[in-house]
Amino acid sequence: MAPSHALRCCKRALNWIPVLFINLVVGWSYYAYVVELCVFSYLVIFHIFLTMFIWSYWKTIWSKPAGPSKAFALPRAEKELYEREERAETQQEILKKVARNLPVYTRTAGRAIRYCDNCQVIKPDRCHHCSTCEMCVLKMDHHCPWVNNCVGFSNYKYFVLFLAYASLYCVVICATVIQYFIKFWTKQLPDTHAKFHILFLFFVAALFFISILSLLGYHLWLVGKNRTTIEAFRAPVFANGPDKNGFSLGFSRNVAEVFGDQAKYWFFPVFSSLGDGHSFVTRLVHIDPEQANSVLQQNGKRQVFLFGVFFLFFFYLLTFTPSVVHAICLISF
């Protein structure tokens, strides 16, 4: 027991190395930009994006993954029957009996009820067991080593905002440092101890921007399709078979599930996702009267416009932030 416990503690400590690395890079970038470069006209916009980046990053890290409620655990009598039973068919009958009262629509590839033997719960739709976190996670997307946490229902919005603000943070650095980078490179400015920091800062920001932007684009696509990373690689199975678009309700409603239906919360890492993570409306509502009402209650036209504005604003920032910063440069010099 003692060696196993020690190994587990070591593993947990090692899992924080990627997070420590990110924090060291951000801390160094702050020193290089604010102390070494120290151009006051840039500091306001720099600190705005830095604050939003750190806020969303730490919310992603410290938001505890949401697990299934007690309603998805087997009652004591059924649990004892399930554990005593050796035949898989009979075990499935026990699970089906319990699942009748639960909002569960997905199945395994063999059309069986999805049950976690580790957590001893019937898995809600889109819920998966994470071996690293050692728990079932609601609407699990993936386990991210860079945040040392599972990305799922409780923090997926924070994760997407973290990627967005990290990209914008890198854009601001590249756009404001590039003129000094060129001057140092062409020897228009004297060599100082700040030269290394400025040159390296530009390269690091550009490298991170390219890496993060591709990941951000992928997750924005997933949001628009109402898929998780797991579902993108393995389509969820319903009673009528696998359906990769099974949870897609149209672009506006898909985005609303992650960012909420109130625009004032979209850009802030505060929880505004819709639902409870246990049940999800499927696109088969026209043959599923139990789910139809929850879809009809949403006003699709208004949300199409608002979410169109939301994504256009993000891409506008990514595209035109360098131009805005350049205008600030012209005013300040």
- Mean pLDDT calculated for residue range 134-152: 97
Which residues lie closer than 8 Å to 243 by C-beta, 6 or more apart?
235, 236, 237, 283, 284
- Reading the block at residue 21, the tokens are 């690395």
- Mean pLDDT calculated for residue range 225-247: 94
At residue 316, the pLDDT reads 54
pTM recorded for the entire structure: 0.85
At residue 1, the pLDDT reads 44
At residue 191, the pLDDT reads 66
The strand pairing partners of 107, in sequence order, are 237
pLDDT exceeds 80 at position 201 = yes
At residue 239, the pLDDT reads 85
Return phi, psi of residue 16, to 5°: -85, -5
- Reading the block at residue 273, the tokens are 């996702």
- Reading the block at residue 252, the tokens are 């506006």
At residue 281, the pLDDT reads 92
Cα–Cα distance for residue pair 123/328, rounded to 1 Å: 53
pLDDT exceeds 70 at position 307 = no
DSSP state of 21: H
Cα–Cα distance for residue pair 277/141, rounded to 1 Å: 12
**Residue 11: which pLDDT band, with cuts at 50, 70 and 90?**
confident
**Residue 186: which pLDDT band, with cuts at 50, 70 and 90?**
confident
pLDDT exceeds 60 at position 29 = yes
- Mean pLDDT calculated for residue range 266-281: 95
Cα–Cα distance for residue pair 120/108, rounded to 1 Å: 16
At residue 5, the pLDDT reads 74
Which residues lie closer than 8 Å to 49 by C-beta, 6 or more apart?
165, 168, 169, 172
pLDDT exceeds 90 at position 323 = no
- For the annotated catalytic residues, the residue numbers are 144
